[in-house]
Structures are given as structure tokens and as C-alpha cells.
Chains A and B, each alone.
Chain A
Amino acid sequence: MTMATATTTDPMLPQPYSVRQVVKETADTFTLTLEPSNGAGGNRFQPGQFSMLWVFGVGELPISISGDPAERNRLAYTVRSVGQATHALVSREVGGAVGVRGPFGTGWPVEKAEGRDVLVVAGGIGLAPLRPVIYEVLHHREKYGRLVVLYGARSPRELLYRKELAAWARQHETQVLSTVDYGGLSWRGQVGVVTTLFKYARLQPERSLAFACGPEIMMRFVARDLETRGLARENIYLSMERNMKCALGFCGHCQYGPHFICKDGPIFRYDQMRPLLEKYEL
């Protein structure tokens, strides 16, 4: 692979990766596994970081890394097709090219979670950036206390990683609960928003760290509820989303009050976010 005069250190130039695997998760959501086209080692990442994925001639988007941080040479992304660029991305076939920049942004503070109970709260596609945390905890089970995963989706058919959810639930000291907005006849699980699962979570709030990702309104309720259940604001982390064109703090699009979500986030402590979350059209 030649890069002509372009320097590989230029943070604005995508590196060519090729698609190794495409897994259909739901009707509109796919997990793509990418490997560098030039055989070079993949980029290491921290759970919660994201990449900018470029589809040749179409566009570039921020997408969280959803794979296992222990897998050094591949990067997995779970993408929900909602528009032109995400559609083009999920339509890539095995062997196709995707440009990758990154990883960018802050990760979930997994080190801080050592010796504590870990509570993962996800809504919809929000489970994707949290899956690396689950892998991390399960790989190093002895370092952490209990792992509780609470997951909400619109309907049973929209639950991501269904097989894995079941497998995680069988792990030692691990609890996985899902809920849906609309259950249908065959659904035997919970119905309702994700906060309705809190009462079933077996963990000690004072020694827990919570990581949440989902629609902003959901995170607002989740954080508020967790606080009333005894988690300190400083122990609740949220992954925020805004429009992003560069991921480097140059394009200005992702500003959220004083923060650039791309470089100061996307993961923030709830005590930093709380005053901003109240502000409509900030």
C-alpha cells in the first residue's frame, strides 16, 4: 500500500481497512469486523472509544468500537442503518474497503471500576460502545465485583447480541436483564423502560460504577434514578452523542456547552453533564 506524498501521521486521512465479516444483528443493524488492508497491526483502543469510518465517495461517520479490546488486529463496529452513510456502511461486503481514522475520544474508566461492582445500562444501539466493557470485565473476572447488564430495546427483535446476552448471563457473578417497550405474545421478559430493571439489579450501589449509553432522554432518567438508588454522581458515566465531522476538535460541530464531545468525551462523568442535560437546545 503506497501513500504517495500523504503522511500516515495526518489525523485527517483515513487508513484503508477491509471487511472480514458482516453479522446481521437485527433487521437494520449489522456488526462489521475490519482488518487493516496493508497487513499492519490494528489500532489498540479503550472500551468506549470510537472511530471515524469513511465509505469511499459517500461520507464519514463516528461509530463506536464494539469489539473485544483483547483482539489486537481487528476492529468491530455495530452499525444501525438510519441514513445514506450508515446504509452504505452496512451494505459493504466481505473484502470491501472502509477507511478508518482513530480511535478517538475518552474511554469508559475501567481501571476505576476495579474492585467494584460494574453496572452497564444500555438502550438500543447504545449497547455497542458498552460491549467492550463487558468483554474486559469477563476477561479479567477476578479484578471486578459483580457485573450487571441492564438492556432496553424497542422490541424483542431489536435486541442486539442475543446469543451473547444469554452467554454472559451464565457467567460467574454476572446478571443480564433485558426489557422491551413492546413485547408481543412470545416475549417472556420484562416490558417497560430500562429503569424498571433497577429494582432487580443485585449490586451494592455504594461500591458500584455505572456506565450508561442510549438516547439522551433515557440517560437522563437512568442517571437520575441511579442517584436516588445510592450511586454517587461521580460514579455514573454517560456516553454523549453529537454531530461530528472531524473528531479532532476542529470542526466545531460536537460542542456541548464548554465541551467538545469528540475530544473531551464522548464519555463524561454525570456530575459534569447534569447541568447541561437540563438545557433544551444547548
Chain B
Amino acid sequence: MHAPALLTLDQLARLVPALHSRGYQVVGPTVRDGAIVYDVLEGISDLPVGWTDEQEAGRYRLRRRNDDALFGYVVGPQSWKKYVHPAEVRLLTAERSGHTFRILNNDPSPPRRAFLGVRACELAAIAVQDRVLQGDRYRDPIYAARREGIFIVAVNCTQAAPTCFCTSMGTGPRVRGAYDLALTELVGPGKHEFVIEAGSDAGAEVLAELAPSAPSEAVCQEAEAAVERAASQIQRRMDTTGIRDLLYTNFDHPRWDNVAQRCLTCANCTMVCPTCFCTTVEDVSDVTGMHAERWRKWDSCFTQNFSYIHGGNIRSSAKSRYRQWMTHKLASWIDQFGSSGCVGCGRCITWCPVGIDITEEVRAIRESPASSKESSHGNP
């Protein structure tokens, strides 16, 4: 366990150059087109300095803060999966050669990246994707190559959005797990400093270069209190007690028809979700027919042909697709990967054009469950 350290704003500013000099491309939150997205950062001034986000079901907007906080917002429409599990990636390039073909190469290896500003729920989401894409029977080589050696600078949330429910999912607001550095921002009149802790030797080594000072007990307590404050702001709840069996036994619940009346099957929720991992593959070939490529692209269980097999789509109704998404996320994920597929980040609530709220859907089913006579789904 590394002792907490204290950084001034100027000292923190040295973090990005320190990462650059170690060969990392630094990516993190920045303001673009009215939202906070993740992109390459040249310095901490590229962060959303002095911005915050207002989020509600189906609503997102940025607003100016009355201070210069670097991390005074929560999560935006993107997640770190854009780097480790990109929306589009080339699986292979092949060339005809005589009667056979040759696989030419994979894409060049991605840059070594440092993620700056990873929230607790996002750290949990990365762990969930690790389990799915490299911790099961097979290891996805594309994910593994992008994931390996990422330097993670995590940030403890000191405020929450109305859409957040990490406390219900046990993922936040305090970061836990595998990070290299974790910081808590303290900002107020005449004050702007960061309590920072190393979570790895690599983190400790970088931190030493920033020449931090030792924080007083009072400052440490202030940082604790700031994270507590975020936790206490969280209003949304999801009761996860027995949730797997709850959803398995409510396959025919009338609420699925109700949500299907509202759901546009637009797939926004799956695109913004930091754990959704489904993909499809597209083949392309040039006009000569000598070259072919295969591209892997994010796909969504909300699309009509996701479940297509000869003869038709298995899930043709909107009801069955919403049910598949939510049941997978909250129930079958537990059977498949030993944890929930939801980390409580609230993105699907904010970015749903009609404001469908996963916590509300669970509540509706819990409040009038079907008779539990029905057999539970596949598990002897």
C-alpha cells in the first residue's frame, strides 16, 4: 500500500509530460461538440477545465462551473472501450495468390496508452470487459494487444449525476482495483490540489517525478469527505437482491410489453454502455477481387438482424430485444462471467432518446413479479 501524496495544480501539470516521456499517448476527457468525450490530451489544459455536465434520463448538457475544476463532471457518451475494443477494427487483410490466399498482416500495434481520468465505474467496466474478452476460454488478441500495459490514472468522483447508481452496483464512487495512480481533486476558494495515491510500482515511479508533498491528516480527511459527499448525492438505486432469478422468472412479465411501447430499438444504450461488447464482421473486397478485408464492428442486440438465422430473426419483436439486453446485462452475465454486466454508470439512461431507465424497469418488475412457479432459466 502506497501512502497518499499531495500535488498542487502545477505539479499535476507535470503528469502528462512525465507520461509522454515514458512513451505513452495520453488520452482522457475533453470538451467536443457540447459533450465531454475521450481524446488525445497534450496537457491538463485540454481537460474540461471549469465545465460540468447536467444529466437526466434522456438529457445531457454542459454547463460552466464557478471554479476551474479539472474533473468536475461525471461520465459522458464515450467510454474507454473506444480504445481497447474499438467501434471498428480490421481483423485481417488477405490477398489472392494463385489458387489460395495469404493473410497479409494485422493492423500495426496500437500506441501504448495512458488513460487519464478513469472513474470508479469505468475501472469496474474495464475489469468486466477483461473478463469477457481475455479471461474466458479464448483471448481476443486485438483487445489483449490494446489492453496490455495501459497506464491508468483513476479519479475519485467528488460529485454524482442524478443518473449515477454505482453505489447500488458496488463499483464506486471510490476507485478500487487495478490502477496506477488514483487522485481526488480538492477545489475551493483559493485552493486547488490533488490527493494522489499510487496503486502500482509504475505509478509510484511516475508520482516520484512529480515531487509531491506529504498531505496533512486534515487534507486526507477532506478528500475522504469529498468522495463521501458524492456517494451521498446518489439518488438512483437498483435493488440487485436475487436479480438473476428475478429476471429469469419474469420472462413473460407484462412490463416487457410496456417498455417495448417506448423503446425505439435505436441501440444507443448498447453503444454508450462501457461493458457491451457485441460485434459483427463485414467482408469487403476491392474491384479486382484480389484483396479482401474483414472488419469487426460494434453491433447491438437491438438490431433486427442480430439474431438472424436462415428462416428469420429469432428476436423480431422490440420486446424480445429489450428483454435480451436487460436480462443479459443483469442476469445471464452473472452465469457467464461471475458478475453483473452493469456497473451503474447511468449512460444508458442519459443517452436513451426516450429516457428509458434500467433501474426503473427493474423496479417495475420487482414490484409485481410473476408467480415464481415458472422454472428458472437453464440452471439445474
Seen from chain A, the residues whose Cβ lies within 8 Å of a Cβ on chain B are 1-7, 10-14, 16, 18, 37, 54, 56-60, 82-83, 95-97, 99, 241-243, 245-246, 248-253, 255, 257-260, 263, 271-273, 275-276, 279-282
The residue on B at minimum CB distance from A256 is: B378
Chain A residues with Cβ below 8 Å from B316 are: 281
Of residues A6, A95, A276, which shows the largest number of chain B Cβ atoms within 10 Å of its Cβ?
A: A6
Asked whether A253 lies within 8 Å of B101 as measured between CB atoms, the reply is no
Q: Told that A6-B92, A7-B141 touch, could you supply 12 new A-B pairs with CB distance under 8 A?
A: A1-B100, A3-B103, A37-B100, A56-B94, A56-B101, A56-B285, A58-B283, A82-B310, A243-B314, A248-B138, A251-B281, A257-B377
List residues of chain A with CB within 8 A of the CB of B278. 251-253
With beta carbons under 8 angstroms apart, the residue of A11, A16, A252 that contacts B101 is: A16
Whether A258 contacts B336 by the Cβ 8 Å rule is: yes
13 contacts between A and B (CB under 8 A): A1-B100, A6-B104, A10-B106, A243-B306, A245-B279, A250-B138, A250-B277, A252-B299, A253-B280, A257-B377, A258-B331, A271-B380, A281-B317
Q: Please state if B307 and A243 are interface contacts (CB–CB under 8 Å).
A: yes
Residue of A nearest to B99 (CB): A95
Chain B residues within an 8 Å CB radius of A10: 106, 141
Measured between beta carbons, the chain B residues less than 8 angstroms from A16 are: 100-102
State the B residues within 8 Å of A (CB).
91-92, 94, 96, 99-106, 132-133, 136-138, 140-142, 251, 277-281, 283-285, 289, 292, 294, 299, 301, 306-310, 314-317, 319-320, 324, 328, 331-332, 335-336, 375-380
Given the interface contacts A4-B105, A242-B307, A281-B315, does A252 sit within 8 Å of B277 by beta carbon? yes
When distances are taken between beta carbons in the complex, the residues of chain B under 8 Å from A99 are 94, 101
Contact B377 A276 (CB under 8 A): yes
Task: Report how far A2 CA is from B99 CA in the complex, Å.
Answer: 15
8 Å CB contact of A255 from B280, B292, B332, B379: B332
- B378, A276: Cβ atoms under 8 Å? yes
Contact (Cβ within 8 A) B99 A56: no
Interface centre among B99, B278, B315, B328, by most chain A C-beta atoms within 10 angstroms, is B99
Q: How far is the CB of B294 from chain A (nearest CB, A)?
A: 8
Question: Shortest distance in angstroms between B319's beta carbon and chain A's nearest beta carbon?
Answer: 8
Q: Are B317 and A252 in contact (CB under 8 A)?
A: no
On chain B, the residues within 8 Å of A18 by CB distance are: 99-100
Cβ contacts under 8 Å, B375 to chain A:
275
CB < 8 Å neighbour of A243 from B308, B319, B336:
B308
Tell me which residues across on chain B come within 8 A of A3, comparing CB atoms: 102-103
Q: Which of B292, B332, B335 sits near A56, CB closer than 8 Å?
A: B292
With A18-B100, A242-B314 given, is the CB distance from A250 to B307 under 8 Å? no
Would A97 and B100 be within 8 Å (CB), given that A5-B106, A245-B280 are in contact? yes
The answer to whether A253 and B103 touch across the interface, beta carbons within 8 angstroms, is no
Among residues of A, the one whose C-beta sits closest to the C-beta of B94 is: A56
> Could you tell me the distance between the alpha carbons of A7 and B109 in the complex, rounded to whole angstroms?
13
A175–B44 alpha-carbon span in the complex (Å)? 77
Query: B283 contacts which chain A residues (CB < 8 A)?
Result: 57-60
Q: Is B314 touching A258 in the complex (CB atoms < 8 A)?
A: no
B332 & A257 in contact (Cβ 8 Å cutoff): yes
Q: Which residues of A contact B279 (CB under 8 A)?
A: 245-246, 250-252
| Chain B: minimal CB distance from A136 (Å) | 24
In the complex the two chains form, is B379's CB within 8 Å of A6's CB?
no
For B332, list chain A residues within 8 Å (CB). Answer: 255, 257-258
Shortest distance between the CB of B327 and any CB in chain A (Å): 8
> With A and B bound together, what is the CA distance between A60 and B379 in angstroms?
32
Residue pair B376, A275 in contact (C-beta under 8 Å) = yes
The one of A12, A83, A275 in contact with B310, judged by C-beta atoms closer than 8 angstroms, is A83
Chain B residues near A37 (CB, 8 Å)? 99-100
B202 to chain A, nearest CB (A): 27
Chain B residue numbers with a CB within 8 Å of A5 are 105-106
Question: CA–CA, A16 to B309, complex, Å?
Answer: 26
Which of A11, A82, A257 has the most chain B CB atoms inside 10 A of its CB?
A257
Contact B379 A258 (CB under 8 A): yes
The 4 A-B pairs at the shortest CB distance, nearest first, are namely A57-B285, A252-B278, A281-B320, A258-B335
Q: Shortest distance in angstroms between B7's beta carbon and chain A's nearest beta carbon?
A: 40
- A97 with B251: CB separation less than 8 A: no
B107 closest partner in A (C-beta): A5
Whether the pair A56, B96 counts as a contact (CB closer than 8 A) is yes
By CB atoms of chain A within 10 A, which of B94, B96, B301, B380 has the most? Answer: B94
Question: Cβ of B314 and Cβ of A281 under 8 Å apart?
Answer: yes
Enumerate chain A residues within 8 angstroms of B309, measured Cβ to Cβ. Answer: 241-243
Q: Are A252 and B104 in contact (CB under 8 A)?
A: no
* A89 CB, nearest partner CB in chain B, Å: 13
Point out the residues of chain A lying under 8 angstroms from B251, CB to CB: 279, 282
Point out the residues of chain A lying under 8 angstroms from B106, CB to CB.
Answer: 5-6, 10
Partner of B136, one of A58, A96, A249, A253: A249
B308 touches A258 (CB 8 A): no
Once A5-B106, A97-B101 are accepted as A-B contacts, the answer to whether A250 and B280 lie under 8 Å apart by CB is no
- Please, how many angstroms separate the alpha-carbon atoms of A258 and B324 in the complex? 11
Looking at A2, A13, A252, the one whose CB has the most chain B CB atoms below 10 A away is: A252
**A241 CB contacts on chain B under 8 angstroms:** 309
Closest residue of chain B to A4, judged by CB? Answer: B105
In contact, A6 and B103 (Cβ under 8 angstroms): yes
Q: How far is the CB of B235 from chain A (nearest CB, A)?
A: 32
In angstroms, Cα B310 to Cα A13, docked, is 25
Contacts of B141 in A (CB 8 A): 7, 10-12
Q: Is the CB of A251 within 8 A of B280?
A: yes
In the bound complex, residues from chain B placing their C-beta under 8 Å from that of A14 are: 92, 103
The answer for the CA separation of A95 and B99 in the assembled complex, in Å, is 7
Contact B378 A259 (CB under 8 A): yes
Complexed CA–CA distance, A281 and B375 (Å) = 17
Report yes or no: A4 in contact with B104, Cβ–Cβ below 8 A: yes
